[in-house]
Structure 1
């Protein structure tokens, strides 16, 4: 056999081998695309079903301050996050006190977010009962709707959406994310979600906290006050948001959906939730954390009396962020 024939045969074998490798690569890529497509389809339908099951209109189709309904993809909107403590064998058949109230506004133009923690002991007017009392009592009087009406009255802005989540879900969400990275400000002994005294012990410094530990840090008021507690809650929510777009969260997304769906109530539809994607995908995501200044007030009970001048400033900040002009009374 001549050298020329050997060379042609060798070239032919190499060409066949390359074609085989190419075919194998294409098959693998197609298989991967099919698996990814099936996974995303599964995630999509699981998420939609979870949101459908969690839907609660709170007795209204839009804020009473709005003339028309809003679209999160086109309008500036607000969300009230309500944390409800249903742990420790507490009665869940009726509305309890809200343990955390975080008002968040979203500006569609620059995809900026402002987040305000409202101290649970704030002395405010509750329209449902036509009385002044602690703001966390509103939820026990009339659930999310009463909390929304109270906060709309306080800040003179529309509350378009609410998300109510109990602390059982909070623990599970953090655990599904394999913990969150948080700077713990001081040594802390706190009860766990079943009210076991001093079951949680944290040391100061940046560390990865599991669900029970993160909840303990969010709830404690032993070493500071309601304002600092609100700051910690905002910090924890920010850590959860950042962690939730990580690779680990994507891989565990179905488990996260299951946890949230079982423990959440919201008046947002699945399509409305999807409209918030540009905020989550913003690589320069920055959340402006706000706080309400005030002072201690003791009468028949302890209250947090809001500073009227600072309250007016916060109202104007939120109204400006929503480009909202309050109606004339």
Structure 2
């Protein structure tokens, strides 16, 4: 009898040590990945210089000449404080990155997170939105800010456009995003109409999509009756499902698989300490994701197509952000 007690005790000790060892390994993996993907806004590449045609352009937002120099002010980014489940904002940049080319932001999605209201507010900033590009001295499509000055310029331009600060950014390589979706087991969407795009048939109704399919689903625009707005809605569908699946991760194998993909596909200024706070203090409080759209109209200016957003609409979006974060 004593022999069996000894054997069972030994097995239990080994099992506990094994679980503890694996937990320590997983913790270290998360920490290593968090450090690998961390990139402060201050460390971004310098912006592209302004050409002759770009100087002295009047601001689309304020109607006055920009006071920003031809380059982003390199002031130190102040870390955001997450004390007492404080609400915060996130700018998600889906980047179509190419070899030897910084690329452009294929998607710009703004999130406000408020655990007290148990909700996330989400909306796209249409990539053709005409606005002042802060630090470049031009008025252009908002998605060009990334091509001109990387994350720094994108964040500052969005902050000027919305008149609200961006607390965190997350930059995701679109090709890597497909692998992240696969790591989460795919996504479920409700497709409003059937369409065919780049060799794939997407039927109307409930669909379960793998990563590559989800990427194609979110990119189709020209066959959508709503054009870019329809594509924006599908992008939000995909991101909403990714957020929900991430919040519901229950197995360590999925965590490890997701970490492998995130490491090569994501950059963010969210620190490891903040990530731990999100997991321990925020995750269980986020029950729903509400979506809104930025209204506007398309117009061709000097042969270039833009999405024009009125001051009244920008004020409406600003107030929605403010109200959700209060």
- TM range, smaller chain: 0.7 to 0.9
Mapped pair 1:320 → 2:315: no
In structure 1, the partner of 2:55 is none
Q: TM-score, normalised by structure 1?
A: 0.80
**Partner deviation per Cα, 1:208-262 (whole Å, 9 max, x = no partner):** 1001110011111121322222221111111112222445664221121011011
Q: Which runs of 5+ in 2 are unaligned?
A: 45-72
Name the counterpart of 2:29: 46
Residues of 1 paired with 2:77 and 2:243: CA distance? 32
Q: How many residues align?
A: 293
Taking the TM superposition and a 5 Å limit, the aligned residue runs for 1:167-206 are: 167-190=174-197, 198-206=198-206
What do the CA deviations read for 1:102-134 (whole angstroms, capped 9, x no partner)? Answer: 111122533432112111111111112122111
The alignment's C-alpha RMSD in Å is 2.7
Q: For 1:47-104, what per-residue CA distance to the aligned partner results, in whole angstroms no more than 9, with x for missing partners?
A: 111121112112179x999996422344322111100113xxx32x342110000111
Question: Which residue in the other structure is 1:225 paired with?
Answer: 227
Structure 1, residues 108-167: CA drift from partner, whole Å, max 9, x if none?
533432112111111111112122111000000000100000010011111111110101
> Which residue of structure 2 aligns with residue 11 of structure 1?
none
Partner of 1:309: 312
Match of residue 256, structure 2, among 248, 254, 259: 254
Q: Secondary structure of the residue that 1:96 maps to in structure 2? A: strand
C-alpha contact 1:64 1:158 (8 A) present in aligned 2: no
Contact 1:95–1:142, Cα closer than 8 Å, also in 2: no
Mapped contact 1:115–1:289 kept (Cα < 8 A):
yes
Match of residue 76, structure 1, among 87, 107, 113 = 87
Q: CA 1:65/1:37 → structure 2, altered by over 3 Å: closer, same or farther?
A: same
Separation (CA, whole Å) in 1 of partners of 2:91 and 2:37? 16
Q: Of the two, which has the highest radius of gyration?
A: 1
**SS where residue 109 of structure 2 aligns?**
strand
1:144 corresponds to which residue?
A: 151
Structure 2 residue corresponding to 1:156, chosen from 163, 173, 186: 163
Q: Distance in 2 between matches of 1:168 and 1:189?
A: 20
1:291 aligned counterpart, secondary structure: coil
CA contact (8 A) 1:184 1:207 kept: yes
Structure 1 Cα separation of the partners of residues 173 and 248 of structure 2: 23
State the partner residue of 2:245: 243
The alpha carbon displacement at 1:24 in A equals 6.7
**What TM-score do the two structures reach when normalised by structure 2?**
0.81
Structure 1 unaligned segments of length 5 or more: list them: 1-15, 191-197, 324-329
- Is the counterpart of residue 274 in structure 1 residue 276 in structure 2? yes
- What CA distance in whole angstroms lies between the structure 1 residues aligned with 2:115 and 2:185? 31
Which secondary structure does the structure 2 equivalent of 1:297 belong to? strand
- Does the 8 A contact of 2:141 with 2:306 survive in 1? yes
Kept after mapping to 2: 8 A contact 1:97/1:140: yes
